[in-house]
Structure 1
Amino acid sequence: MTRLLVLWCPQWPVVAAGMAAGLAVDAPAVVVAANRVVSANAQARREGVRPGLRRREAQGRCPDIAVLPADPDRDARLFEPVAAAVEELAVGVEVVAPGVVAVPARGPSGYFGSEESAAERVIDQVAIRTGAESQVGVADGLFAATLAAHRGLIIPAGESAQFLAPLDIRELTDRPDLVDLLRRLGIQTLGAFAALSHNDVTSRFGADAGYAHRLASGLEQRPPSRRRPPVDLSVTHTPDPPIDRVDAAAFIARTLGDQLHTLLAAHGLACTRLAIHASTANGEDLIRLWRCADPLTPSGISDRVRWQLDGWLRGSDRPSAGITLLRLEPEETVDGHALQLGLWQGGNDEQASRASRAMVHVQGLLGQEGVFTPSINGGRGPNDQVTLTPWGDEQTPSSDPDLPWPGRLPAPSPATIPTQRVPATVIDRDGGEVGVTGRFTLTAPPDEVAVAGNTRRVIAWAGPWPADERWWEKDGGRRRARLQVLLAERSEVDNQDALLLVRENEKWTVEGVYD
């Protein structure tokens, strides 16, 4: 197993967001996605703010906190100088994700005398070149080395399994459903998971759980069956005029990602290590390796190409001229039989191909976020049941729509979902506000509903439908109740509207409007 040195920049999303926004180093800040904190800096953590908190709760604990949006492109672009700083000391640098870079430990440890010395030099180099704080870990295999970096440890050769054994099962962060299931079964540590039979795990929970079992056991995610692809499995693009703008780079990244994936799929392969080469009009040669634990999809390839070009073109060490040649080379591949494309993303059907080209053309005019494809998810509310995915990206439901969902809103669903919740007040006959009890019953029958200063009479209502989610978690629970109301103007019985209201945190808001 390859011994790796991994450099990790703690809470990189909020570090990058703060750099982009020009925040002071000592200002508390968080990055928020889907109204939840995904990254918090040290100053925010001292105020009790942690990832997973709702935005409002984080602001309640720290009123002067800076709330910044999640932006993977920004994170990748600003991480390029960090990867370049590591590359000055070691060859074979691979970007695992924005904030994490890996390099074979043998080279720098031999040059600097020991793994400890190499780790110290790499940390100092990154601090001097970029000002970013970082930690280094060394271990056998990427998974163990990454967790060692989180703790700033160097694990002796052959002892990765012993290091992983006492760690919490939640270290399998990219498999939340599996982690939740294992914890409910009483498996709390990686060692307890690794003690199970691999065949039993695979047959009971599936192939992905089998991969996770290998990681918990201190092994690579897959057996060493990877192979270097032939030289001709690469794609090259010579732009005219040269690329010097990020929007042009994003369009080319999408095209090259599709081309490379199609070429690999024709040979039954998928890429797990991608080399991105670029040459400029002034003869500058740029290269960066990206490593991915799972096989790259077309969108995964294009994302990494776009991130890398963004980092080169907008970074502090940007090339002196536009990019005149771009080449993608799959450095490492696995069998690609498990990757399947959805509707209009593959196949030889002419109509599907024409539709796909049309969507790509529109996306080129409007940008990547200009064309979306809806996919059905499991969930209780209308917002939970539909996910909009940028055209061409892999559509993966966040939850199984076929599972039972107690408290799920009955059909039909609202025709319109407001982008921002509109406050509402439900009023009873005595003029008091209607609430919801702890047993999910209304405190009084609704008589009127006030929305945006307009009070209308309730002529029919249904509900409430309770949704008590993740009640077993100390800080992760969520209690909601939904109510359907049919409203009419006092003087016009025919002018009627139907609304879906939701009660949460003792407040009513409009969640949907029926046609």
Structure 2
Amino acid sequence: MSRTLVVWCADWPVAAALSEAGLPRHLPAAVFAQNRVQAYNQAAREFGIKRGMRRRDAQSRCPEIQVLAADEARDARVFEEVLVRLEELRPGVMPLRPGLVALRSPARFYGGEAEAGAAIAECVVELGIWDVRIGIADELFTAEQAARSAGPQETYAVPADGGSTAFLRALPVHVLEDANAVSLLQRLGLTTLGGLADLPGADVKARFGAQAAWVRRVIHGEGARPVTGRTPPPELTTEVAFEPPLDSAEAVCFSARQAAEGFVKGLATRQGVCTEVRIEVVMEDVPDSVRTWAHPRWFSSVDLIDRLHWQLAGVVAGGAVIEVRFVPEVAVSEAVHADGLWGGTNERVDRGIARVQGLLGHEAVVAPVLQGGRTPRDRQAYVP
């Protein structure tokens, strides 16, 4: 049976924030949410910074600490680079959360588990992420705990054929994600997962919750989660090049019509629609024109050509167009914007509203709504 390998990038929210801000990774830094420490790196740990500490207390201990805002979207966005790099070595990665990813161990290819862990750690270090730890075990939960037990740029391989049970039984109960279950176990005098495993299975779920019950099953060799590799996101960007370059907005829009239709059909085959698109116009002798357009419902091919024509109105006079790209910024399921069962909105009205908003701004088209107030005038409000 294929073994599971887990890659853990320690203190990932801090590493992602420093990377996006262009700051050196050796600086003491912490990510704050609601003025409390959510994550911190090794340099901050040396000053006594702890999770949950107030911002002013952390700054009093380390005045030079980098204060970073929590941003889950940023963490996932920066981690995508790591996932793409790992997929080049071993296709079929399984992201667990930003900073933590699992894959089937490529030990056969590299000649051993230690060699496979070293190759993957080197791959991640090349991206500038120094604190990466590798864990290898028979199943996912054990491999994750093995990675958390490894040192920086080291591999911890749990022995096969029964080694997982002994390894898990020795772990402290705080590895459970349920804080209430951890507190209750500690009050009962159970400090390791071995004590949890010795409890009757029927009572564990009722007393400590589903997560503790699942961990108990894993210790007994049941309930293991398989590694299911992700499907890389499809490349939905559509582009059209012009040779020779075109200097007429009408000619560009006519030539880009087929690309716009292909863009919409590509989303439709995946049962999706685009509500926000970035149109990139590559120019010959002047700076490129890049603009993001939003739609009150979703973009059709006619809508895309309209936006392209509006965007070209102010740039074609200065140079010829070499290439046009349609890049989906926000794509959602088509069910989200499906028409109602008893009719929908008029497409021509939507296009007219969108054109006015594109020319005069989002607040140029408003609709009346009722609000609280004593007089009829007070109860009327206009919103975009």
Name the CA distance, whole Å, in 1 between partners of 2:148 and 2:291. Answer: 32
Please give the alpha-carbon distance, in whole angstroms, between the structure 1 residues aligned to 2:132 and 2:222: 25
Cα offset, 1:211, TM superposition: 2.1
Residue 196 in structure 1 maps to residue 199 in structure 2: yes
- Contact 2:181/2:209 (CA < 8 Å) preserved in 1? no
Residue identity matched to 1:141 = E
Residues 184/128 of structure 1: CA separation in 2 closer, same or farther (3 Å cut): same
Cα displacement (A) at 1:39: 1.1
Write out aligned runs for 1:50-69 (5 A).
50-69=50-69
Q: Which amino acid aligns with 1:150?
A: R
What one-letter code is carried by the residue in structure 2 that aligns with 1:136?
Answer: I
Instruction: Select 1:134's aligned residue among 115, 132, 135.
Output: 132
What's the TM-score, normalizing by structure 1? 0.44
Q: Does 1:178 align with 2:181?
A: yes
C-alpha displacement at 1:202, in angstroms? 2.4
Alignment correspondent of 1:125: 123
CA contact 1:193–1:216 (8 Å) conserved in 2: no
1:20-43 residue CA offsets vs partner (Å, 9 max, x unmatched): 222222211001123321211111
One-letter amino acid of the structure 2 residue matched with residue 134 of structure 1: V
2:291 and 2:184 map into 1 onto residues whose CA distance is 42
CA change 1:39–1:216 in 2 (3 A) is farther
Read off the aligned partner of 2:195 and give its amino acid letter: A
What is the distance in 2 between the residues matched to 1:40 and 1:218? 35
- SS of the residue corresponding to residue 199 of structure 2 reads coil
Corresponding residue for residue 81 of structure 1: 81
- 1:185 Cα deviation from its structure 2 partner: 1.1
Residues 1:169 and 2:173 aligned together: yes
CA distance in 2, matches of 1:76, 1:34: 20
Give the structure 2 partner of residue 102 of structure 1.
102
Instruction: Determine the C-alpha separation between the residues in 2 that align with 1:135 and 1:129.
Output: 14
What is the CA-CA distance between 1:50 and the residue it aligns to?
A: 2.2
CA distance in 2, matches of 1:237, 1:97: 25
Give, in whole Å, the separation in 2 of the partners of 1:14 and 1:140: 30
Q: Which structure 1 segments of 5+ residues have no match?
A: 227-233, 256-319, 329-349, 351-364, 367-515
Cα distance in structure 2, aligned partners of 1:116 and 1:208: 31
- The question of whether the paired residues in 1 share the 8 Å contact of 2:37 and 2:54 is answered with yes
Matched, 1:15 2:15: yes
- Asked whether the 8 Å contact 1:190–1:217 carries over to 2, the reply is no
Distance verdict in 2 for CA 1:86–1:248, change over 3 Å: farther
Within 5 Å, which residues of 2 pair with 1:111-260? 111-152=109-150, 153-158=156-161, 159-172=163-176, 174-217=177-220, 219-220=222-223, 236-239=271-274
Task: Note the aligned Cα RMSD (angstroms).
Answer: 3.5
Q: Deviations over 1:416-439 (max 9, x none)?
A: xxxxxxxxxxxxxxxxxxxxxxxx
Displacement of 1:215 in angstroms is 4.2
Identity %: 39
- Measured in 1, the distance between the counterparts of 2:139 and 2:164 equals 8
Distance 1:5 1:198, change over 3 A: same
Aligned pairs, how many? 253
Structure (1/2) with the larger helix percentage = 2
* Structure 1 pair 217–45 and aligned structure 2 pair: CA distance change class (3 A): farther
Query: C-alpha separation between the residues in 2 aligned to 1:324 and 1:71?
Result: 18
Counterpart residue identity of residue 214, structure 1:
R
Amino acid at match of 1:211: W
**Superposition map of 1:267-282 within 5 A:** none
- Shift of residue 129 of structure 1? 3.6
What SS does the corresponding residue of 1:239 show, helix, strand or coil? strand
- Cα separation, partners in 2 of 1:243 and 1:4, compared to 1, 3 Å: farther
Equivalent position SS for 2:25 = coil
- Tell me: CA distance 1:131–1:167, structure 2 relative to 1, closer, same or farther (3 Å): closer
Could you tell me how far 1:47 is from its partner in structure 2? Answer: 1.2
Q: Give the 3-state SS of the residue equivalent to 1:5 in structure 2.
A: strand
Instruction: Calculate the TM-score normalised by the size of structure 2.
Output: 0.58
In structure 2, the gaps of 5 or more residues are: 151-155, 229-268, 280-289, 299-324, 334-340, 342-361, 364-384
Give me the whole-angstrom Cα distance separating, in 2, the residues matched to 1:247 and 1:321.
10
SS at match of 2:167: helix
Are residues 1:322 and 2:327 paired? yes
Which of structures 1 and 2 has the larger relative contact order (alpha carbons within 8 angstroms, sep 6+)? Answer: 2
